[in-house]
Every structure is written in C-alpha cells, then in structure tokens.
Amino acid sequence: MRRACLATSAALVVLDLIVPHSASWAQGVPTVADRAPSVAAADDGGSTPAPAGTADGATSSRRPADPDSPSIVPHSLEGRAACITCHGPAGRRPFPGDHLGRPSAACLSCHVPSQSSRAQVANTPTPPRVTNEYCLACHEKQDLKMVLPSGQELSLYIDKAAYAKSMHGVKHMSCTACHPDNQTKTLEASQSNAGKPHDAFTGNVARELNRGIIQRGCAKCHEPIFKQYRESVHGKALIEESNLDVPSCTDCHGIHNIRNPETMLFRLDSPDTCSKCHGDAALMGKYNLSANVTKSYLNDFHGTTVRLGRKGSTPEIDQYKAVCYDCHGIHDIKKVKDPASRVVRENLAETCRRCHPGSNANFPAAWTSHYEPDSKRWALVYWVNVFYKWAIPGILGGFVFYIALELIHELIVRVKRWRQG
Amino acid sequence: MNGHGESSGRTFVRFTASQRVEHFVNIFGFFGLCLTGIPQRFNGAAWADGMIQAMGGIDVVRGMHRTFGALLIVETAYHFVAMGYVLAVKKARWSMMPGLQDLRDAGQMIKYFLFLRKERARFDRYDFRQKVEYLALIWGTFLMIATGLAMWFPIETVTYLPGEIIPASKAAHGGEGLLAFASILLWHMYSAHLSPDVFPFDWTIFNGKITEERMHHEHPLELERLLAEEHTKAEAGNPTPTAASPKPEVEST
C-alpha cells in the first residue's frame, strides 16, 4: 500500500530524474526543480498565450529573488545544430557545471525557447502555455502508463473528477504548481530519452523522490506545517536520517485526491491512515513498536465510537471522539517517551483535559494506553475478565445441569405412566 | 394434570398489583437494555453493527441504553422503598431470604430427580430456584447500575476512585450483562415457561393468581400456613373467612 503510494508520488517527479540525485535536496541547495515555479507562475498569468519573452518578464517580476530560473532560450532554434554545440563545456556559452551529465535531449524540458522557434524544433505542436487541460488531455486516459526498466508498470492516469474535488482542485490550482513545467515531460519526450532517466526509478529512489518533492513541492506553500513536520518523529527520521519507512505528506494526505482534513470524514478515516503503517507488524517490529495499537484503540470507547460513527449515514453528527492524532499530535507528533510528547505520562492528564475538562490526574488511567490488560498492567480489568470467563459458563452450566435433571426425570416418569396405560 | 392435590377451583392472590407492575417495568427495561446493550458489547461483529445502525447509530443506541438504565434505576429504588415498607411497617415475613433450608431443598430435589427420593422438597412461598433468580437480579442490578454510572460519569467517578475503575467497569458491565441475559434466557424461561409445573406459561406474575393445586404442588408449606391462619381466624369468630386474602410478603419482581 505504502509502496504504491510512494511509487505514485514518484511519478509526479518523473523528470526530476534528469537531475543527478544528491544530498542537495535535503540540504536545500537549489536545483532545477527549485527554480521550476517560474514557469508555473507564467502559467498563472493572462488567459491569452503569452510569448515566451513576456512570460519571462512576468516571471522575473514575480520572483525577483530567484536568479537561477532556467533561462529562456533567447534565439530561434531554426537551422541550429544540437544545443551542446554552443552550450557544451567547450562551447561559446557553456552551461553551468552542475548541468554536466544531463542528456542533451532534455534541455528543452527546462529551457523554453522563444515562441517562434519552438514549433520548429519539435514536430508535435506545442501549446503556448501549459494548462491543466493540456496535461489531462493525455493523463485522463485510464490506460496511460509506462513500463519501468524494473518491469513495473507505472500508471500515469490522473482521475480528473477526483482532482477537481480535491483540496487543490477546488482552488483551481494548475498541475504546474506542483509539477513545474521543467519537471514534467510528455511521454514522447521520456521515450526520446531512451528510458534513461527511468533507469533510476527503483524502490529507494522512488522514496528519495518522495522526500524531495515534499520539501520542494508541498513546503513551498505549506511552510509552517513543513517546519512542524521537520521536527516530528516522522519528519526527523525522513530528513535527518534518510529513513524511508516514515510517512511524508502524501502518505497521509494523498496526492491528486487530497481531502479537506477539517471534515468529519477525514477525522473518522484517520485511524485507517495511521494503521497503514502502525498495523504492519513487520514494519513496526523493526522499531520495537506494537502493531496492535489500532486494535486496542478500536476496542476502547473512542475507537468504538469513531468506527461506528463512520458507518452511520450521517457521520457529521457529534462524533468529535478522539482519533490517533488528537492525543499524539499531527504534524508535530513525537515519540511516546519524548518529554515533549503529548502522551508521555507527565503530559497525559493535560492532553485528556483538552477534551475532558475537569478531569484529574486519575483520569488517564481510565484508558489502558494501548496495553492489553494483564496481571501487572490494569490488573483489575484483567481479573474481572478472568472472573466472567469462568463465571458465565460455570453458572450457566449449573442451570443446564439442574434443568436437564428435571426434564429427564419428567420424561422417565411420563414414559413409565404411558407404559402402564 | 400432575396428580397432586385435589381440584378445589380455589385461587390465591400471590402478587399484588404493585408487584405485577414492577415485573412489567422490569421486562420492558431489561429487554430494552439487552437490545441496546448486547450489540454494543459485541460491536465489530456484522450483526451487532447492523443492529446499531438499524436503531439509528451508536449515539442513539447509547442514549436509549441510558434511558432504559435510568428507568430500571427508578424501578429498583421503588422496589426497595416498597419492600422496606412491607417489611418494616406491615411486618411481613422475610420470605425471600435464603437459608440453609434452601441448600437442603436443592439437594432433595436433585435426589428426587435421580429417583433416590419419593417426594419433592416441600417449598415455602419462594423455592430456592426463585431465590437464586431474585438474588442474582438484585446483585446484577446493583453491579450494572454502579458500573454503568461509572462509564456514564467517568470524570466524576475518578474524582474519588482510581482511573482503572472505568475500564474495569466496562469489563464487568459487559460480563455481568451477558450473564444476566443468558441466565434470564435459560433459567427464567425455564422456571416460568418450560418447567413441567407451569408449561407453557405461568400467568401468575401477570394476573397475580395461583390455583390451590399449584400451591399444594409448588408451595405446600405456604399453603399449610395460609390454611392454618384461616382456621385460627374462623375459630376466633370470623363467620366468613375470605378465601383470597393476599398476605403481604417480600416479593421478587
């Protein structure tokens, strides 16, 4: 499940693969991707196709602090040989040193030639600007996919209706807001690269990509939340330790179907979101964590109510019962034993009081803390359960014994009477 | 029918109107609680979740459960007030009080069923089966009220008690509730419906009446005492002894 998510996230940044992978993402060194928004910004401009030069101007005025924007090709490409003739290391206008090793066919996926020349370069007609309709013209096809060198099929299908309903869709955000034009490419272009960029498209790289996109993609607009996340147990592991087991933004929020996290349904569904990983015994075993936390949650008041509330026809009604993140935190989630954790023993009573005002220090023990009661922890609960485990069959067995005796006696008496006539 | 006693056609009043109403309230409350409580106990099972949704969702079911619970709390309070009045003011016999005689009666009945004894045990107003059921009801009701209130008012409860009392209450409420439900199904259905003495339906708790034959068969000691009292009254000069004078007693509900 998670793997699939990551793989899809990775699909968002297929073209990132042109950029040599390095630790620079984590360190925030600007790369092509960082500069990408300039084109998106141009896309946000007027409704008429803007000539490249104008777009450049608009971009500059919008993002003056980004001098590294991929430069517009200021000349016509007509009659010119490969870019590298002039822009190679030995050329008249050599490209920057970090461009070394990039396939030359990819130049035009970042650098937009002037309007007049571009159509002549590619045989396929290129739209003057990248609209969502342009992207979806191909990506709304359900069978759009590519085969990775690993043999894995990667669906490139985008559910148009689901996107339109998503948080970004209702705000009419363009595809290029997250997928800057120089990070995407058409299928033809990727094929023209002879599959090279996708050689890197395997397991961990996909996760690396995921790690990159949230920092440069989501964080771009959601910076305060990203800062919280960076300090959380998940974010620290991802960013500081390069631990790729932890969730990033898209694992919980989705990608093209991002839901409003402030709705009741999102709340009620959230335990499932957490248990995608926290119910995975193999994954949790790696970190010495229990994979039964969902089960113990569902067995108690909060979890039962949330689960049943979700089944109801009107889940909006008063179901503000605690879900995982009400106690553990959301983007700022900490290790349970962290002194800053909301659920560490010292802070737990305060956390309970957020929903149960007036509760005292005894109150947290009303919740069995995800433990299965045993003779040491929540022993009273354990012994009550043991008592009924034996009392119920014992007492009912006694009743059955007595009733059986009387009925057998009655039967024998009646049979005897019947025989005697 | 069972060969005991002679058909006199005479009936005795066994339960007062108040007691019959109490029994009716108990049926209503108990089955309401079972209907709304058992699906909560087994939530997660498809049938239980289906019942909860059919009744309007978990919040509605909890509300109904608490309403039925409140009804039985009121009924229980009434029961103890009425019982206190009958015992303290009318000086009724503590006929529901269990004693060693009940153990002896049970032993005699088992021997009788095993053909080790010719005669049934001779019961007074309440036999040991009825006492077992009544005591289980009283004990169970107290436990269910206490644990139910603990879950209903957890913050107030843990002001005085450790927090662990809440999950323990939940465990006990579920266990005791199941035990009560199963016991009623088994023991009460048996003694009030399926037992050869009363099959198919014991109307006494609804119309309050019991025939002299059944008194002779099921409660011979009580019958003897009632007849003896009548005799004493008649000798004392009462010209027309009333047949069916209800004797105030401690009653089960």
Q: For residue A96, what pLDDT is reported? A: 75
What's the rounded Cα separation, in Å, for the pair A1 and A7? 10
- In chain A, the residue whose alpha carbon lies closest to the alpha carbon of B175 is A388
Q: Which residue has the higher pLDDT, A314 or A341?
A: A341
The DSSP result for A292-356, as a single string, is -HHHHHHHSHHHHHHHHHHHSS-TTTT-----HHHHH-STT---TTSTT-SSSHHHHHHHHHTTS
Q: Which residue has the higher pLDDT, A181 or B37?
A: B37
Residue B157 lies in a domain: no
Which residues on chain A are in Cβ contact (under 8 Å) with B175? 384-385, 387-388, 391-392
Q: Which residue has the higher pLDDT, A145 or A49?
A: A145
Decide if pLDDT at A322 tops 80.
yes
Task: Count CB-CB contacts under 10 A for residue B174.
Answer: 19
Q: For residue B145, what pLDDT is reported? A: 97
Q: How many domains does chain B have?
A: 1
Per-residue pLDDT of chain B (253 residues; tens, 9 = 90+): 444 445 567 888 888 899 999 999 999 999 999 999 999 999 999 999 999 999 988 889 999 999 999 999 999 999 999 999 999 998 888 888 888 989 999 999 999 999 998 888 888 888 888 898 899 999 999 999 999 999 999 999 999 999 999 999 999 999 999 999 999 889 888 888 888 877 888 888 888 888 888 888 888 888 888 888 888 888 776 555 444 444 444 444 4
Mapped onto helix, strand or coil, the DSSP state of residue A154 is strand
Our CA dihedral for A363, A364, A367, A373, rounded to 10 degrees, sits at: -110
Domain boundaries, chain A: 2-239, 263-366, 381-421
Decide if pLDDT at A51 tops 50.
no
B23 neighbors B238 (Cβ within 8 angstroms): no
Q: Once rounded to an integer, what is the mean pLDDT over residues A337-350?
A: 88
Q: Which residue has the higher pLDDT, B78 or A87?
A: B78
Residue B4 lies in a domain: no
Using the Cβ of B63 and the Cβ atoms of chain A, whether some distance falls under 8 Å is answered with: no
Nearest to B54 by CA among B35, B31, B32: B35
Interface of A with B in 301-320 (CB under 8 A): 301, 304-305, 307-309, 311-314, 317-319
**Cβ neighbours of residue A261 closer than 8 Å, sequence gap 6 or more:** A253
Q: Once rounded to an integer, what is the mean pLDDT over residues A208-226?
A: 73
Q: For residue A126, what pLDDT is reported? A: 43
Using the Cβ of A355 and the Cβ atoms of chain B, whether some distance falls under 8 Å is answered with: no
What angle do helix axes B58-88 and B128-152 make, rounded to 10 degrees? 130
Q: Which residue has the higher pLDDT, A39 or A102?
A: A102
Output b/e per residue, A35-64; b: 16+ Cβ within 10 A.
Answer: bbbbbbbbbeeeeeebebeebbebbeeeee
Q: Once rounded to an integer, what is the mean pLDDT over residues A224-250?
A: 87
> For an interface test with A, which of B2, B58, B108, B137 has the most A Cβ atoms less than 10 Å from its Cβ?
B58
Q: For residue A80, what pLDDT is reported? A: 64
Which residues on chain A are in Cβ contact (under 8 Å) with B47? none
Looking at every residue in chain A, the average pLDDT score rounds to 72
Residue B40 lies in a domain: yes
Segments forming the whole domain that contains residue B35: 18-92
Q: Residue A195 — very low, low, confident or very high, per pLDDT cuts 50/70/90?
A: very low
B5 neighbors B212 (Cβ within 8 angstroms): yes
- Closest-CA distance, B209 to chain A, in angstroms, reads 25
Which residues on chain A are in Cβ contact (under 8 Å) with B170? 301, 381
What's the rounded Cα separation, in Å, for the pair B226 and B38? 43
Which residues on chain A are in Cβ contact (under 8 Å) with B178? 388, 392
Using the Cβ of B135 and the Cβ atoms of chain A, whether some distance falls under 8 Å is answered with: no
Using the Cβ of B164 and the Cβ atoms of chain A, whether some distance falls under 8 Å is answered with: yes
The DSSP symbol for A271 reads H
Residue B54 lies in a domain: yes
Q: Once rounded to an integer, what is the mean pLDDT over residues A330-356?
A: 89
Using the Cβ of B199 and the Cβ atoms of chain A, whether some distance falls under 8 Å is answered with: no
- Closest-CA distance, B186 to chain A, in angstroms, reads 7
What's the rounded Cα separation, in Å, for the pair A346 and A340? 9
**Cβ neighbours of residue A336 closer than 8 Å, sequence gap 6 or more:** A328, A343, A344
A37, HSE (Cβ side, Cα atoms, 13 Å): 19
